[in-house]
């Protein structure tokens, strides 16, 4: 379970950097979490989100 703590620490660091304007950190957060966000959007909408950018707005 140490990998979960490492992932959380990495995410916290990426969020801080993204909030400070670091575009690469934001892109990494999106890359890491987009599949999960798309899954949640799909469940909420009962179908694939359209347009695909819809889940990205949540970031």
DSSP 12-50: HHHHHHHHTT-HHHHHHHHHHHHHHHHHHHHHHHTS--S
Residue pair 41/54 in contact (Cβ under 8 Å)? The answer is yes
* Assessment of whether the complete model's pTM goes beyond 0.85: no
**Do residues 43 and 14 make contact, with C-beta atoms less than 8 angstroms apart?**
no
* For residue 14, pLDDT beyond 90: yes
**Tell me: the pLDDT tens digits for 18-58?**
999 999 999 999 999 998 888 888 788 775 556 655 555 55
Question: What is the tens place of the pLDDT at every residue in 16-29?
Answer: 999 999 999 999 99
């Amino acid at each position: 379970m140490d990998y979960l703590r490492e992932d959380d620490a990495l995410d916290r660091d990426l969020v801080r950097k993204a909030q400070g304007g670091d575009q690469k950190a934001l892109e990494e957060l999106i890359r890491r979490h987009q599949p999960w966000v798309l899954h949640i959007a799909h469940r909420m909408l009962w179908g694939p989100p359209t347009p695909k950018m819809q889940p990205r707005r949540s970031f």
